[in-house]
Amino acid sequence: MWYVYILRCADGTFYTGIARDLSRRIDEHNSSNRLGASYTRGRRPVTLVYREEVASRSLALRREHEIKAMGRQEKVALVAAGVTR
């Protein structure tokens, strides 16, 4: 199982990614200077605000791309709806 997730950074921006082990990945974003994404390093702490379960890595990458192409208001609506697939 793969996860597509959205994090809210301390500055209010969103970060979207994929992971197999979601809790480990969030810990990396919050504490690791080597393993966390460079975008989130300067915007800690980050909080998980949305996640979707998908069956494969390729589907996760596709969905991540769709979410990253959304505007901020669309992402806010997605997070507010709390829809989990």
- Cα–Cα distance for residue pair 8/66, rounded to 1 Å: 18
Sheet holding 2-8, edge to edge: 14-19, 2-8, 47-54
Average pLDDT of adjacent 10-residue blocks, the chain of 85 residues:
96 97 94 84 94 97 98 95 67
Q: What is the pTM of this model?
A: 0.92
- How confident is the model at residue 51, as a pLDDT? 96
Token pair 């990458």 in the structure block, residue: 61
Q: For position 38, what pLDDT does the model report? A: 86
